[in-house]
Structure 1
Amino acid sequence: MASQGPRPPTPDPADPETVGPYRIESRIGRGGMGAVFLGRAPDGRPVAVKVVRPELADDPRFLARFHGEAANAARVASFCTAQVLDHGDENGVAYLVTEYIEGPTLRERIKSDGPLTPAALHGVAIGVAAALVAIHGAGLVHRDLKPGNVLLSISGPRVIDFGIARALDETDHHTGTGQLIGTPGWTAPEQITGREVTPAADVFAWGCLIGYAATGNNPFGRGSFEILSARVLHAEPALGDLPDPLGGLVRAALGKDPAHRPTARDLLLALAGGDSEADAATALDARPVAAPAAFPDGRPDMAHTVPPTVPPTVPPTLPSAGAGETTGAHRLPALPPLAPLEYVPPPVAPPPPERAPRRRGRTLAVVAAIAVVAALAGVGVRQWRSSLPPDDPLLVAVGLDEGCADAVGLYRAGSAAPEKLVSEVWCVQNPQWSPDRSQIVFTRSDSEAHSAWVMNHDGTGLRKIADMAGDSAAWTPDGTGVSYVGDRDGREGVFTVAVATGKVEPVATVKEGDARFHDPAWSSRGLLAFSYREEKEPPRVHVVDPKRPEDWRAVTPEGVDARAPAWSPDGATIAYTALEPGLKDGAEERDIWLISVQGSPNRRELEVPGNAVHPTWSPDGRWICYVRDGEDVRAARTNGDADRSVAPEGDAGTLTMPDWS
């Protein structure tokens, strides 16, 4: 969408007077998704109101994706970005509201005054890199980072329009098969060739943007879409006399292979602490960048995709098992701890002894740089604390009577008691937020059956939507349906019921028999995980793409009793519970393990003295909440550190079955 730079009011009779509760003052601009207006919130604050084109707003699939992505974008730490404040649709008008940022876009600044000075260039480079750290940390990819989406405000550069391009990208009949979402000249090779889009695409756009700010020209020049695409795929960027170490970072960011680019966190680390080409190379833990080769034809395999790297749920590259070692769940080599903001480089080569203290200094410089940027944006550094769990409220089942809770409530760590949303309902289990947190699903059980129920976020509108065979249900990624375990037409497995219509569709099923399904869970990337037991074998966690429902694949090791999968916010990692080696089903000695969506690496991060169940990720992906021994709700960082109870003290009602994400 268009920028938010300062504009004189230009009312147009065709413009709306209000959008939702926001009064419209003037049109700021127009972009691919719709128009952007300067508006006023009910409290008088200026806001940017982005109104979706009518033909898109009429598409239920687009709207579901749009609101889901907007809800995710609202979680992005606001330093160096325009904070997402609200989203909704009213009378056929869908809209997104962000804070209004005064200042020209980078594109306007370069067009009027030419290339940036070295000091201003470094400020833009570090500010945009910090914004990408925050965006990727929320599990998002910008997909359309360009000079028109960077505002030069009084508090520094601010990135806008992140997290919503995917909604348009995945609405095929509006984009056309194969049509590029993004701006030619700023899109990465993998976007042009239709490969998986990851945070590495934003890093490529960062390299284009810094090259443009330094020279006044796009590193791949001007021309038609075909010409620019050919240059991006095969030509070397023109960066003029961009000095090192910044020049080296930009060249690394513009590498053709996404797996070989630095992450946004790497860039921030090098920009904050490096003072030479050698320092930059050390920060990236890479050899000098050679001329990159063009991509081979065809799609890359999963090993070459780059999941979001902040927060680091699993390292992008991990040591493989040595000779004679097994790669099963219980025979993996020890892995390094994953302390937040501590850069753990891929093991390309053993680091020289002198690197450790230098890296530590750069890490401290990164923390200082983030603190300065956050202070300028007026938000402090709360988002970067790692010693305490986040204060996002937990959705919990409250009050156990013979194993069944009788209420659903909200609990914030440190509170004296939970806030009950609905109570006096028999045998409540597994409450779960919808993706936009507007609704809650939970299950109820009696002596004869299980059923799935939904209600609004405040406890109103309670209604049953399905009878089921299991005791847990999961929202689909777009928030329009609920998946559950059941049986239908001679088949058993996972089915999805549309909340609005009650229509039921199978997702993964088998003929009725001895197979057993448990604990469905959807990822933000649209994959379904569930625990599946065939005949007398221990259950394993399986993953399926609903577009290819016949292609199941187990991701947990054979012979290990694995249950209760829970996806990280970025969809790259699954937490699950597993029995201690040698123990049989029925034993109460389960620990929490983490495994990548590819099935490797697999590692135990929470070795619990007792029985750990119901894992759930914090919204920032840095912590896991779980229940120990049936009644102690606890939280620990994803590397197992700082494990602590977050349950209320005293007789405040037993909490269990938390949902944090």
Structure 2
Amino acid sequence: MGGPRASSLRELRPEDPTRIGRYRIEAKIGEGGMGAVYLGRDPDGRPVAVKVVRSALSDDRTFLARFHDEAANAQRVASFCTAQVLEHGEDLGLAYMVTEYIEGPSLLEHVTENGALSPGMLHGVAVGVAAALVAIHSAGLVHRDLKPSNVLLSISGPRVIDFGIARALDVASAHTRTGQVVGTPGWIAPEQITTQQVTPAVDVFAWGCLVAFAANGRNPFGQGPFQLMAARAVHAEPELGELPRSLAPLVQSALRKDPEQRPDARDLLLALVGGAAEADVTTELGEAWASPPPPDDPGATSRDVTARSAGPPPVTAAAPPAASPPPAASPSPAPAPVTDLAPDWPLERPAQEPKTEPAYERSTAPAAEQQFAEQQFAEQQFAAPPPVLPPVPGWTDGPGRRGGRGGLSRRTVLIASAMVGVLVAGVVAGGIYYFNRPSGEAENKAGPAAFPSAPMLVRIDNEAGWPKSCHADIGVYRPGEPAATKLIGGDRCEMLPEPSPDRSRIAFTRTGGGESEAWVMNADGSGAQKVTDIAGGRLTWSPDGERLAYMGKAGDTRQIFTITLQGHEVTQLTDDDSPKDDPMWSSTNKLVFWSEQDDVLQLYTLDPDRPRSAWTRLTKDGVRANDPEWSPDGSKIAYTRGPADRSTIWVMNADGSGGHALTTGGLHDMDPAWSADGRWLCYVRGELSDPVIRAVRADGTGDRVITPAGRTFGHPTWM
């Protein structure tokens, strides 16, 4: 949420918090299906929007995992044309997310009060929202609920808010019924309604609806209850009304029923900033991009606002012929949206009721048609297989509201031209960077890395108590399945599975009765054999698969040893008195591990073929570092960095250079492990007693929850 007008803010009530995390709460902005949004201040006094999840959802572990997952992803979205996500966490037993506070009305408010946008301002909104979608999609997110109330018209241009958060509610285990649609009728794509796969194409469809609405003051699929709106989105052609010549073809292509036939956000952006003729672009952008003046501007009048919406006559886009148009829709105020279908952040704002998305007036379609559509949707409940929706005859909702006409002053034109120049320059620069960045920076030339198809080895916790007590087996888990398949178990604790380089065997640690042992078994769980006694911790394979490295006791100190699987020949590699652990062997024959040799956990490497050789220190910033894991080619190391309760996953080069954060949750991230192709990492987030497995691309995008609902897994590694 951004910045509503001061008059729409609500004073805090006794049940409202006065502080969340490090933010002082000053007023309530609004509330909706997911929770409440507050105006807050950070310790430096800067305004922020603090979104607090309602308590019922805060008790849902699966929802919370997804909420933090999506919030962490949202933090990586470039802030241009979006409201930047600053932080997320939990306080007072509630989950919260903090975003940049954007001052300005929503597109819904502006169009409702002032009519359709002028061509210049319309083009600015189209460009800005397309740029925001490029940033959102390149971070691996899909907005899912793009609509006019989620676009704020700030002084610097349009800003998209609430991206990526709708998905959290979509998977809430205790609060989402089977087949529920997340989104708002009138702005969601056909494939969302028929519960097919959600891709970035749904946002492109919403972009087309949004631009048509901004140009005409009405939804291209008309008005009515959600059943009729949904049926029209699936079967009927949109009525685009009047659109500028440069926008009409793009909007038509964005609203195609088949998501595969729609352009992506990058195509939209390129066409908007460079695909039109120079004269057309000059005409489109020559007018003002300016949000309505702030409420405390004494010179602002309704005539000033109306003048901003003036412009040359637009081109009328072709619309499908109507069979028998029903009577014009009633101009009476629209009822509130159905919250089942719009579980987003504020659905309404205080002191502005009954203003809502203008797509919910009672339908004027024939009663039989409406009843049939409602019955079909009630029976199907949006569940798979997709419902067969009734074809909708032609319809019309009458002319949209247009802004009044008036001239622009010389001063207004000069200021507006400068602002439009900044907006377009920023979009073009962002587009140039996006299309020409190095291949490893977010997406390579082949596009984002597909999620690995290989299964994971996991520790399956059969009872609570980890890590004080262990009741675990080792199993194979394929992400997306409801449970793991046990490979080995018993009355002792099996943990820390590590596949051999050729994936034919698995080494693991077995504990019980105060003893720890190194074991090896075949990949299917057969042929398990004890290798040696150890001092606890994980095992790691040599590149040739003929040796294991492990932690063993030498006097009163744990040291790093190796042992051959044939002959059980033992070699001691270290002999100092510092605590150390987590040895990991690289494909280039180096061992990385952590040690407190320099009074803080730092990462070091040594040559396993030169016992008691000098170490090379990799991390030198004095921040706690552990859990090192080599990439498959030995060029990088992923590791856990930071205090245990606020740690994140970092990646650095093999020589210690180029260290950077891969995750941003700060909620005890640990135990990273690479996929076989080196393009994904899995890791664990959360309390040791209640871990959640997650996965993220090596470029930081696509972060997601892997653990199935109701299961507790740990120590993940891909086969």
Q: Which residue of 2 aligns with 1:609?
A: none
- Secondary structure, counterpart of 1:190 in structure 2: helix
Q: Report 1:13-52 matches (<5 A).
A: 13=13, 14-52=15-53
Q: Which residue of 2 aligns with 1:154?
A: 155
CA separation of 1:239 and 1:410: change in aligned 2, threshold 3 A? farther
Q: Which residue of 1 aligns with 2:426?
A: 372
Deviation at 1:165, TM superposition (A): 1.0
Q: Which residue of 1 aligns with 2:575?
A: none
Q: Please tell me the residue identity of whatever aligns with 2:426.
A: V
- Secondary structure, counterpart of 2:174 in structure 1: helix
Q: Report 1:302-341 matches (<5 A).
A: none
Q: Does the 8 Å contact 2:209/2:255 carry over to 1? A: yes
CA separation of 1:134 and 1:397: change in aligned 2, threshold 3 A? farther
Deviation at 1:241, TM superposition (A): 2.3
Larger RCO (CA within 8 A; separation ≥ 6): 2
* Alpha-carbon distance between aligned partners in 1 of 2:421 and 2:435, rounded to the nearest angstrom: 9
Q: Please tell me the residue identity of whatever aligns with 1:6.
A: R
Q: Does the 8 Å contact 2:602/2:626 carry over to 1? A: no
Q: Report 1:223-302 matches (<5 A).
A: 223-275=224-276
* Alpha-carbon distance between aligned partners in 1 of 2:111 and 2:625, rounded to the nearest angstrom: 63
- Secondary structure, counterpart of 2:51 in structure 1: strand
Deviation at 1:146, TM superposition (A): 0.4
Among 431, 438, 441, the alignment partner of 2:647 is: 438
Q: Which residue of 1 aligns with 2:103?
A: 102
* Alpha-carbon distance between aligned partners in 2 of 1:461 and 1:196, rounded to the nearest angstrom: 32
| Match status 1:138 vs 2:339 | no
Residues 463-517 of structure 1 show CA distances to partners (whole Å, capped at 9, x for unaligned) of 9999xxx9x999757x448xxxxxxxxxxxxxxxx9424899xxxxxxxxxxxxx
Q: Does the 8 Å contact 1:397/1:409 carry over to 2? A: no
Deviation at 1:421, TM superposition (A): 5.9
Q: Which residue of 2 aligns with 1:111?
A: 112
Q: Which residue of 2 aligns with 1:177?
A: 178
* Alpha-carbon distance between aligned partners in 1 of 2:125 and 2:666, rounded to the nearest angstrom: 46
Deviation at 1:249, TM superposition (A): 0.6
* Alpha-carbon distance between aligned partners in 2 of 1:410 and 1:382, rounded to the nearest angstrom: 35
Deviation at 1:384, TM superposition (A): 7.5
* Alpha-carbon distance between aligned partners in 2 of 1:367 and 1:389, rounded to the nearest angstrom: 31
- Secondary structure, counterpart of 2:71 in structure 1: helix
CA separation of 1:266 and 1:103: change in aligned 2, threshold 3 A? same
Give aligned-pair identity as a percent: 52
* Alpha-carbon distance between aligned partners in 2 of 1:142 and 1:425, rounded to the nearest angstrom: 35
Deviation at 1:242, TM superposition (A): 1.7
Q: Does the 8 Å contact 1:115/1:216 carry over to 2? A: yes
Unaligned 5+ runs, structure 1: 281-287, 292-296, 301-365, 443-455, 482-497, 505-518, 529-544, 548-563, 567-661
Q: Does the 8 Å contact 2:646/2:668 carry over to 1? A: no
Deviation at 1:419, TM superposition (A): 3.3
Q: Which residue of 1 aligns with 2:592?
A: 405
| Match status 1:215 vs 2:266 | no
- Secondary structure, counterpart of 1:196 in structure 2: coil
Q: Please tell me the residue identity of whatever aligns with 1:386.
A: R
* Alpha-carbon distance between aligned partners in 2 of 1:129 and 1:264, rounded to the nearest angstrom: 6
* Alpha-carbon distance between aligned partners in 1 of 2:603 and 2:589, rounded to the nearest angstrom: 22
- Secondary structure, counterpart of 2:181 in structure 1: coil
Q: Report 1:214-613 matches (<5 A).
A: 214-275=215-276, 371-373=425-427, 386=437, 403-407=590-594, 418-419=619-620, 429=630, 432=638, 438-440=647-649, 479-480=684-685, 499-501=688-690, 524=702
- Secondary structure, counterpart of 1:419 in structure 2: coil
Deviation at 1:240, TM superposition (A): 1.0
Relative to the length of structure 1, the TM-score reads 0.51
Q: Which residue of 2 aligns with 1:339?
A: none
Q: Which residue of 1 aligns with 2:3?
A: 4
Q: Please tell me the residue identity of whatever aligns with 1:500.
A: S
Residues 381-424 of structure 1 show CA distances to partners (whole Å, capped at 9, x for unaligned) of 98777369769xxxx9999997212348699xxxx974356789
Q: Does the 8 Å contact 1:135/1:162 carry over to 2? A: yes
Q: Does the 8 Å contact 1:220/1:228 carry over to 2? A: yes
Deviation at 1:62, TM superposition (A): 0.8
Q: Does the 8 Å contact 1:24/1:37 carry over to 2? A: yes
CA separation of 1:211 and 1:22: change in aligned 2, threshold 3 A? same
Q: Does the 8 Å contact 2:23/2:40 carry over to 1? A: yes
Q: Please tell me the residue identity of whatever aligns with 1:10.
A: R
Q: Does the 8 Å contact 2:273/2:424 carry over to 1? A: no
* Alpha-carbon distance between aligned partners in 1 of 2:115 and 2:648, rounded to the nearest angstrom: 50
* Alpha-carbon distance between aligned partners in 1 of 2:690 and 2:118, rounded to the nearest angstrom: 59
Deviation at 1:140, TM superposition (A): 0.4
Deviation at 1:523, TM superposition (A): 9.3
* Alpha-carbon distance between aligned partners in 2 of 1:137 and 1:261, rounded to the nearest angstrom: 17
Deviation at 1:98, TM superposition (A): 0.4
Deviation at 1:163, TM superposition (A): 1.3
Q: Which residue of 1 aligns with 2:345?
A: none
- Secondary structure, counterpart of 1:372 in structure 2: helix
* Alpha-carbon distance between aligned partners in 2 of 1:182 and 1:459, rounded to the nearest angstrom: 29
* Alpha-carbon distance between aligned partners in 2 of 1:249 and 1:212, rounded to the nearest angstrom: 14
Q: Does the 8 Å contact 1:208/1:254 carry over to 2? A: yes
- Secondary structure, counterpart of 1:96 in structure 2: strand
Deviation at 1:457, TM superposition (A): 9.4
Deviation at 1:199, TM superposition (A): 0.4
* Alpha-carbon distance between aligned partners in 1 of 2:184 and 2:592, rounded to the nearest angstrom: 52
Deviation at 1:217, TM superposition (A): 0.4
* Alpha-carbon distance between aligned partners in 1 of 2:71 and 2:689, rounded to the nearest angstrom: 21
- Secondary structure, counterpart of 2:175 in structure 1: helix
The number of residue pairs the alignment matches comes to 401
Deviation at 1:248, TM superposition (A): 1.0
Deviation at 1:211, TM superposition (A): 0.6
Residues 36-88 of structure 1 show CA distances to partners (whole Å, capped at 9, x for unaligned) of 11100111110000011111111111111111110110000000000000000
CA separation of 1:22 and 1:214: change in aligned 2, threshold 3 A? same
Q: Please tell me the residue identity of whatever aligns with 2:187.
A: W
Q: Which residue of 1 aligns with 2:94?
A: 93
Unaligned 5+ runs, structure 2: 282-316, 321-383, 388-419, 443-581, 595-600, 605-616, 632-636, 652-662, 710-716
Deviation at 1:275, TM superposition (A): 2.8
Q: Does the 8 Å contact 2:156/2:423 carry over to 1? A: no
Deviation at 1:439, TM superposition (A): 3.8
* Alpha-carbon distance between aligned partners in 1 of 2:679 and 2:440, rounded to the nearest angstrom: 26
CA separation of 1:252 and 1:437: change in aligned 2, threshold 3 A? farther
* Alpha-carbon distance between aligned partners in 1 of 2:665 and 2:238, rounded to the nearest angstrom: 53
Q: Which residue of 1 aligns with 2:193?
A: 192
Residues 536-561 of structure 1 show CA distances to partners (whole Å, capped at 9, x for unaligned) of xxxxxxxxx979xxxxxxxxxxxxxx
Q: Does the 8 Å contact 1:5/1:103 carry over to 2? A: yes
Q: Please tell me the residue identity of whatever aligns with 2:647.
A: S
CA separation of 1:232 and 1:179: change in aligned 2, threshold 3 A? same
Deviation at 1:369, TM superposition (A): 6.5
Q: Please tell me the residue identity of whatever aligns with 2:176.
A: T
CA separation of 1:48 and 1:384: change in aligned 2, threshold 3 A? farther
Deviation at 1:179, TM superposition (A): 1.5
Query: 2-11 or 101-110: which moved more?
Result: 2-11
* Alpha-carbon distance between aligned partners in 2 of 1:460 and 1:57, rounded to the nearest angstrom: 16
CA separation of 1:522 and 1:101: change in aligned 2, threshold 3 A? closer
Q: Does the 8 Å contact 2:77/2:139 carry over to 1? A: yes
* Alpha-carbon distance between aligned partners in 2 of 1:402 and 1:461, rounded to the nearest angstrom: 30
Relative to the length of structure 2, the TM-score reads 0.47
Q: Does the 8 Å contact 1:434/1:475 carry over to 2? A: no
Residues 114-158 of structure 1 show CA distances to partners (whole Å, capped at 9, x for unaligned) of 100111100000000000000001110000000000000000000
- Secondary structure, counterpart of 1:236 in structure 2: coil
Greater strand fraction, Structure 1 or Structure 2: 1
CA separation of 1:565 and 1:60: change in aligned 2, threshold 3 A? closer
CA separation of 1:132 and 1:433: change in aligned 2, threshold 3 A? farther
Q: Please tell me the residue identity of whatever aligns with 1:20.
A: G
Q: Please tell me the residue identity of whatever aligns with 2:689.
A: A
* Alpha-carbon distance between aligned partners in 2 of 1:183 and 1:203, rounded to the nearest angstrom: 15
Q: Which residue of 2 aligns with 1:61?
A: 62
Q: Please tell me the residue identity of whatever aligns with 1:12.
A: L
Q: Does the 8 Å contact 2:204/2:262 carry over to 1? A: yes
- Secondary structure, counterpart of 1:5 in structure 2: coil
